[in-house]
A and B are shown apart, each in its own frame.
Chain A
Amino acid sequence: MPSLNSSLNIGARSLFNQQSGIATAGHNIANLNTEGFSRQEVHAKSELAQPDGTGGGVRRGMPQRIFDRFTSRKIVQEESNSAALGAREKFLAKLEIIFNESDDAGLRRSLNEFWDSWSLLANEPESDAAREKLKNQSEALSSRFRSMHMELRGIRSEANSRVAGVVSEINNIVDQIADLNRQISSYELVDRTANDARDRRQLLLEKLSQKVDVSWLEDSRGQMKVSVGSTGWSLVEGRKGRELRASLVGGETGMYHIQGIGEHEYKVDLSNEFRSGELKEVLDIRDKTIVSYMQQLDDLAFGLAHKLNKIHASGTGLSSGMERIKSSYGLNQDAQLEPLPFIKDGIFQFHLLDDDEEFYATYEIEIQAGKDNIYDIVNRINETVNDPLYFQASIEEDGSAVFLSGGGKQFIFGDDQTDFNVVMGFNNFFETLNGAEDIRVNNRLLEDPKNISSGKDLVPGDNQIALEIAKLQTRPTMNDETQTFDEFYNGILADVGLRIQRNQVEKEHQDTMLAQFKDIRDSVSSVNMDEEVANLVQYQKAYEASAKFVSTVDGMMETVIQM
């Protein structure tokens, strides 16, 4: 027969148990909106039967978190991909603004107006208004190139500072995980539950995986070991977190690269080790996506300048000949002695004019590509002319070439099979060393648009040069002469657009998948208030009943005492 005392015990434990049930429900309700919180349940067991076979009441249970280990693992992995796609979306949206052609300020509009101006000049080579228009449109076009380059560079440096930002976010999370590792192991060592610390650690792991792809495992003492990248560089080991560093030392100037810092300042470059996550995506955007668009824009600027200059250089405009011209480009000391690059075999021609603009003489200079250096050519020019009073070529200290006429003579350029004019930058239309960054209209043309070549030999109504240039618009000139300028630029445009579209689809898919996993997890782990309220009611009733039981036993004891 059970003793009254033991019955009183049963009652006490029962009260206690219902109370902790109520407390747990309260905890759950309190954390209804807490991110990463897993609901807890008190799992009570019935006590072993007493020797006489009556039940022993309830054994007190510990609150346990309801947690779906498998789904959580999946979520951590997918967070990396989602965050990568999210970062990509943000940067692509910025890129799209640069390549936005829907308004009137786009590069394509500038190109259209540029070509139309050449078409107009070809029709009215004598017209000052046509030249003025062309001058303005050319300036607009070249400045559009430059500002697009600057905008791309701006986004690139934005991505670069984001790299540093992500790294410091990672370090912050790593520290917190290491700290939680310490807390969890010290709690669990003394048999206390660390449910909420574990929830927090799991949440931090998810956040970390948004930044960078992580691998992790939990050791027997409940400590999480976290590593990143394809080589598994360890970030958290027990209570110790190791930092990543965004370093400017080495690598491309001004661009961060990522170092893992080990024991005794041992450094490993991890920049290329990451497989997903925001960090990898931002690095990719910085070093691949944007760089490739900048490259293509440069290609376009170079292509345009080169094709145009080639035609422009041998032409003349309305104004008379030149008395002095300095090449736009200079050769450094070493290059001066090397054969002049990019030139072709053939004849390079120029004419001397009298002061009344009648042709005085025509000189043909033969140039051998891959053999003649700039001194050879300059000497040959001087030997051919053989009249230093009237005409002289020379090389300046800065490595540029100078043509100088005197004695009332002036000179103009004629046919050029060799590209000598274009390579040295005589009478070019566009001048550029680095492509889109510094493309500019030749200053001589801006100062006097009459200098813009429209024809040859100073014939005012001759439009052959302008016509030839106007035709460039529809001629395949880019990519080994398979694409027009417009098609080439369309390629960039479509690439940006398609990339965004593809990313949208991928991101939508990825987000849906992630949402579904989270849904699964939440349906297991998150709190349903109505459930908790029901629990409350249940525990409260149970508590009341337990109290009744205790007072019953109490009454029984009193009865016994009064006997």
Chain B
Amino acid sequence: MQLLEGEKEQILASVDEVLKNSSKLREDLIPTLQKVQAKLGYLPALAMEKIAEGLNVPAADVYGLVTFYNQFRLNPPGKHQVKVCLGTACYMVGGDITLESFERRMEIREGETSLDRLYSLERVACVGCCTMAPVVVVDEEVEGKVTPTRVDGIMLALQDEEKKSVTEQEPNQGRGEDS
């Protein structure tokens, strides 16, 4: 993946900052990856390389770890992240159908990010609120009893929010992205 302008610097700065407070031991590898991902939203190759250097671990091992654990992402997530729970209770009441509805509405498959980077869709094993099944996590907000019709509602709300943020941002254009 090609990095956009400024992204490289941002990645290097984030990794440096995290490594500053690190024990530099291999056992700090997972917490380091977690902290860097918390800053960047994902783990670009450059970050993995720098972390490998910093902790003196083969880069191949860092890559192995990142691809092993569910939590880590190699690609930037969408602005809005939808996680559909497919724990037992959710599955039994049609969590897979809810997931399919999202796939249809977002026009992406589970595990992907939409081309405009607005949405990403994931399945998670269990959010731990089985009594509210089927459960969906929309941008960290847990929502219970999500039927296919509720999926439409969630998507409309997200699209509305996007429209609003576009109209709100327009007058500010030219001020740069950071505020």
Answer yes or no: are A and B bound together in one complex.
Answer: no
Chain A residues within CB distance 8 Å of chain B: none
